Amino acid sequence: MSTLQTTFTLPEDHLLRRSPRGLLGLGVLGLAVAGAGALTDRAQFFQSYLVAFMFWGGIAFGSFGLVSLNHIAGGRWSIVIRRIGEAAMRTLPLVAVLFLPIAFGLPHLYEWARPEAVAHDALLQFKATYLNVGFFLIRAAFYFTVWIVITRVLVRWSNEQDATGDPGYVRKFQLLGRGAVVLYALTMTFAGIDWMMSIEPHWYSTMYGLLVIAGQVLSAFAFAIAILTLMSQHDPVAAVANSERFHDLGKMLLAFVMIYAYFAFSQFLIIWSANLPEETPWYLKRITGGWQYLAVALPAFYFFLPFFILLSRKLKENSRRLIIVAVMLLFMRLADLYWFIMPAFSPGKFTLHWMDFAAVVGVGGVWLAAFLFNLQGRPVLPLGDPALPLEASA
């Protein structure tokens, strides 16, 4: 790394630079505690782990889509969060490793993975060509291969752009970004169906993939804003991440909130108005037995409150206030995933197990440590990008 690039890395005493080892230790401890719980209740362990995996892994997946989208759209607002997104998507090999417990716990999560259940269910037998253990694992391997290969190319080009300043990389990023966005949309649609929707194989929704994608991009964007706020207290990020940039990011965050709410409400409206017996039970499980309180809290704190807050220009320009909204959205994303997944295993009765917390802390600690290791190893701004303000790259 050149002397110029070194000056654009995180300072040695920065919080984000001092945190990885502690987070890694916390993550290992959380996974050990959750693993100990698996000795007494294996099914609960895998259920809790799936929620944690989809939340933290979802930030990495969403960052992949967000970085690809940024290369297509361009704009100075994307410059300040590009390295954060790249650091997050560079954790995808780790996310693939974190997927292994799910692969080993398929019978505890998916009805179609239990031969005795398939033998007595005509619908599962009909879907067995697609929903079977072997094909499920092959598809998962394919998804991760696509994401990791494209990530490696994007990051390599980004490093070369830093080193050479060649403006030709902008066009290359645009071309690859277009294909990457299409591949992300296709693969994540199927991954969302495989990993989440197939928990209840008798139910289906044609909007499910869009919900998964929109939720991941929203969480990735909120996470990027939170990290950027912590980075913007010091140069060189402070020179670029000014009130104008945070205002732009706040507007984009509002847009992603509205997009996710639109998809979620559209699915609910279509299913509820059709009132088909094979579709409505999915919502009935989630609005009875205590789950209805979470069903009310989600639109209140995942849409209405952030929507009205983000209408304020002054708030969007204030990074310390915007980070509060971003953290709230991340918390509500976790609650949203819990509401999507857990009622399938506990219909009509709200449950909250200690392994839910242990799994989130365990997977989160390990993932955040890997993210921060990736973030501190490179310049925090894309120095070779023509859209970077001259005063920041000088």
Average pLDDT over residues 192-215: 96
Range 214-230 burial, b when 16+ CB lie within 10 A, else e: bbbbbbbbbbbbbbbbb
User: Within 13 Å of residue 205, how many CA atoms lie on the same side as its CB?
Assistant: 28
- Containing domain of residue 349, as a range? 3-381
Tokens of residue 290, six digits: 């205590």
Average pLDDT over residues 16-41: 95
Helix axes 76-89, 42-73, angle to 10 degrees: 150
Q: To 5 degrees, how large is the angle CA 386–CA 245–CA 367?
A: 90
Evaluated on CA atoms 337, 340, 345, 347, the torsion sign reads positive
pLDDT tens column, 235-261: 778 778 888 999 999 999 999 999 999
Contact between 215 and 195 (Cβ < 8 Å):
no
Range with lowest mean pLDDT among 233-237, 309-313, 374-378 = 233-237
- Tell me, yes or no, whether 392 lies in a domain: no
- Tell me, yes or no, whether 34 lies in a domain: yes
**How confident is the model at residue 6, as a pLDDT?**
47
Average pLDDT over residues 56-60: 98
Non-local CB neighbours of 118 within 8 Å, separated by 6+ positions = 112, 124, 125, 128
Average pLDDT over residues 179-197: 97
Number of domains in the chain: 1
- Tell me, yes or no, whether 391 lies in a domain: no
- Tell me, yes or no, whether 393 lies in a domain: no
Tokens of residue 83, six digits: 């390295």
- Tell me, yes or no, whether 389 lies in a domain: no
Percent of the chain with pLDDT over 70: 96
Angstrom distance (rounded) from CA 28 to CA 18 = 17
Report the largest interatomic distance among the alpha carbons of the chain, rounded to a whole angstrom: 69
Q: How confident is the model at residue 389 (pLDDT cuts 50, 70, 90)?
A: low
Q: Where are the alpha helices (DSSP H) in 74-196?
A: 76-89, 92-98, 100-104, 106-109, 115-119, 122-127, 133-164, 168-195
Angstrom distance (rounded) from CA 367 to CA 311 = 32
Helix axes 168-195, 133-164, angle to 10 degrees: 160
pLDDT tens column, 103-138: 999 999 999 999 999 999 999 999 999 999 999 999
- In the 8-state DSSP scheme, what is residue 99? T
